[in-house]
Amino acid sequence: MKKSTLLIFLFSMSMTQALRAADTLWWSETMPHAEHGSSQHSHGGPVEIRRGIYHKNLWLRSGDGPVDAKYLDGAVSGRILLTDANGETKELSGGNVHGSYGVNFAMPDEGFYNLHLIRESVVDGARQLTIAKSEPLKHSCREGHDHVKPLMAPKRSSQVPMEIVRQRTADENFHSLLGYGDTASFLVLYQGEPLAGAEVTLHTARGWRNTVRTDAQGIASFMMIRDYYPPWHEFERRHRQDYVVHASHTTDDAGTTDSGSYTKTRYLATLNGSYYPSTRDYRSYAYGLLLGVFALTFTGVAVYFYRRRRQHRFHEVRFDEKN
Amino acid sequence: MKKIRDAINGVDLRRFRFLLQLFFFVLLVYGGYFAVNLGQSLPTFACGFNDAGRGGICYLLPLQHQLAMSWGTLFGWAGLMVLQGFLFFALWFFILNKGWCGYICPLGTIQDWITSLRTRLGVRYSRYTEGQFRRLSLIKYLLLALMILIPLGIGGALLPHDMGTPFCDICPGRMIIPMFTGDFSQLTIDFSTKTTMVMTALGMLVTGLFLAGAFFKKRFFCFFCPMSALHYLLSKPALLKLKKDGAKCTRCGDCYRVCDMEIREIADEVKEPRIMQDDCIMCLKCVAHCPEQGALKATFAGIPIFESTEQGFIKRMTKGHHDEHKPQ
């Protein structure tokens, strides 16, 4: 083995050790280091476009929510699976992406891609399976919009023991954005079946969190709160904020792995997403209707008076026939 | 054959046009509910903002989107996509020429319905003077130029990106057509940036002006429509044509009097057989109201499909008066 390869291996191993086994892991689309530049906006979030092909960067973060989660500098053990828009799954390897650990992959086809990290560890006699999922979207308006409907349905993976599936709304399309005041629903699947009574927590970008349990259909719902209060001149309607959802489930499964024996198994699934200011935050019906009614009334009244001004009272002119 | 021709030439054009307009209104405003999708290159105001019901999309929306791409992209491979969209637009247009305005445009149909309301209320309509007509007629070309130049300026980073679809921002179709499917979300002012605030406010002012204007003036908005200007630039090779035989014209002026667009040339021009002007909406009311045999005609690919006849004129003029002449 070359000396440099050995050094990289040892560094990676040391960083893997620094990441505690019980840490919550989740994917993030937000670039960790601003000095590496910014990505281009697309309807599926930030992307890099190389020779017309969209490439997505996702970074792995450790911690409960966006406020305090760390980006990772070294490699992370576990399998990374990418299911593309056509439903084909392949294994990816992570690496240094713009200074932190993450993955980069091409998204040539329109639709949702599913990325899973499956990581297993045994700590204090308990086996922990962490399944970090991300569901990036590739959409360009240049591809048209006629093909969107069949591609909206979420994918389910048979290769992960537990996962969170974001539920679609009835009128959702590739341009739909989750806004403040909207309700986001998540289906928790365990071994491919809806899991009732699972504890699900949502963390928002500024640290607000809420925990609920899944209902009989395995669904947990959250209303997104407003947590963006800039001065008006700094307001951005496309201000993207990360949220992350955790779901956990513990079973009495016991056994032995390379890391040791365990008497119970804890599954921890995460799913990241983005939310934006609601249109209700910056659109006003009152002012719109006021202006419309003003223009309508003003024009109507102006035409009425214009017509009245042009009407001349009848003046009879009499001619004296004698003259 | 002669009987069929006489039946067509004697058709009740008002009724025929009302039914056809209604059909196309339903197709373009509610067609989406019936899985109708005529694409996004339609040469008429099938509003793309009518998300749920649209049966196709007005070409001006994708055109502005495409022209707002960065210059590197627009003048590279994406330019082919813009040309492809324009080609589809032109192909649609060549079939019906400006008949898209007179028979298919949902915004035109709404204006005709407002005109019917005014007629029923007994309010008289307004006409422009010749000077006003000449000046106002130029506005559509100005709007067309701005509609192309502003997105190009955005693509070149010379103008703010939130001005992306400038004509759609001020088009009353964006506000009015989605309302027919219960979507009132466009009746708002967008305060997210100064540009969007100004553009959406302008849009609401134009909408108010449109409703009042269409009440007093037939086809009020069509004088300012950049789609109409774009149509005229492409109208020469179109299949549907309006022709005039000047030798048969007596210059009675009936055609001018019934013209919603007040096109004077339809009565005055006796030399040029291609009589269609830039403001024409090809409603063919002029043909229906002409009493001279073959003086005005609509042709499709050179074949006359509807022409003025004395019998047709008399039949249309006496419609509703038959009972008066029947023996008691």
Of B81, B188, B211, the CB nearest to A288: B188
Mutation site for B-interface testing, chosen from A235, A284, A307 by largest number of B Cβ within 10 Å = A284
Whole-prediction pTM value?
0.81
| Tens digit of each residue's pLDDT (9 = 90 or more) over B178-217 | 999 999 999 999 999 899 999 999 999 999 999 999 999 9
- Residues from A contacting B (CB-CB < 8 Å) are 52, 141-142, 144-146, 171, 232, 235-237, 277, 279, 282-285, 287-289, 291-300, 303, 307
Mutation site for B-interface testing, chosen from A53, A232, A234, A282 by largest number of B Cβ within 10 Å = A282
Contact indicator for A129, A162 with CB cutoff of 8 Å: yes
Is A293 in Cβ contact with B37 (below 8 Å)? no
Of A14 and A91, the structure prediction assigns the larger pLDDT to A91
Question: Measured between CB atoms, does B206 come within 8 Å of chain A?
Answer: yes
Q: Chains A and B: how many Cβ contacts under 8 Å?
A: 82
Of A232, A289, A298, the CB nearest to B187: A289
Contact indicator for A76, A119 with CB cutoff of 8 Å: yes
CA distance B235 to B229: 10
Of A146, A236, A300, the CB nearest to B212: A300
Is B185 in Cβ contact with A279 (below 8 Å)? yes
In chain B, which residues have their Cβ closer than 8 Å to the Cβ of A307?
126
Q: Beta-carbon neighbour count of residue A202 at 10 Å?
A: 24
Residues near A288 by Cβ (< 8 Å), separated by ≥ 6? Answer: B187, B188, B189, B200, B204
Which residue of B lies nearest to A149 if distances are taken between CA atoms? B35
In chain B, which residues have their Cβ closer than 8 Å to the Cβ of A235?
192-193
The mean per-residue pLDDT over the stretch B160-183 comes to: 94
Complex ipTM tops 0.95: no
pLDDT higher than threshold 80 for residue A226: yes
Question: Measured between CB atoms, does B34 come within 8 Å of chain A?
Answer: no
Is B208 in Cβ contact with A298 (below 8 Å)? yes
| Tens digit of each residue's pLDDT (9 = 90 or more) over B22-70 | 999 999 999 999 999 999 999 999 999 998 899 999 999 999 999 998 8
Question: Can you name the CATH fold of B239-317?
Answer: Alpha-Beta Plaits (3.30.70)
Task: Tell me if residue B194 falls in helix, strand or coil.
Answer: helix
The mean per-residue pLDDT over the stretch A11-21 comes to: 49
Of B37, B189, B213, the CB nearest to A299: B213
CA distance A284 to B191: 8
Of A186 and A279, the structure prediction assigns the larger pLDDT to A186
Question: Measured between CB atoms, does B121 come within 8 Å of chain A?
Answer: no
Is A288 in Cβ contact with B187 (below 8 Å)? yes
pLDDT higher than threshold 70 for residue A4: no
Q: Beta-carbon neighbour count of residue A2 at 10 Å?
A: 7
Of B51, B52, B204, the CB nearest to A292: B204
Task: Tell me if residue A161 falls in helix, strand or coil.
Answer: coil
| Tens digit of each residue's pLDDT (9 = 90 or more) over A121-164 | 888 889 999 999 999 999 987 777 778 888 899 988 888 999 99
Domain extents in chain A: 21-281, 286-312
Instruction: Show the tokens assigned to B202.
Output: 């302008």
CA distance B243 to B273: 5
pLDDT interval class at A20 (50, 70, 90): low
Q: Residue A31: what are its φ and ψ, rounded to 5°?
A: -65, 130
Strands A111-112 and A114-123: unpaired
Mutation site for A-interface testing, chosen from B82, B154, B192 by largest number of A Cβ within 10 Å = B192
In chain A, which residues have their Cβ closer than 8 Å to the Cβ of B184?
285
Task: Tell me if residue B288 falls in helix, strand or coil.
Answer: helix
Domain extents in chain B: 2-232, 239-317
What pLDDT, on the 0 to 100 scale, is given for residue A22? Answer: 63
Question: Measured between CB atoms, does B191 come within 8 Å of chain A?
Answer: yes
Residues near A234 by Cβ (< 8 Å), separated by ≥ 6? Answer: none
What pLDDT, on the 0 to 100 scale, is given for residue B3? Answer: 86
Q: How many CA atoms lie within 13 A of A64 on its CB side?
A: 12
CA of B38: how far to CAs of B58, B62, B71, B81, in Å? 10, 14, 29, 18
Contact indicator for B222, B232 with CB cutoff of 8 Å: no
In chain B, which residues have their Cβ closer than 8 Å to the Cβ of A303?
126, 212, 216
Contact indicator for A33, A100 with CB cutoff of 8 Å: yes
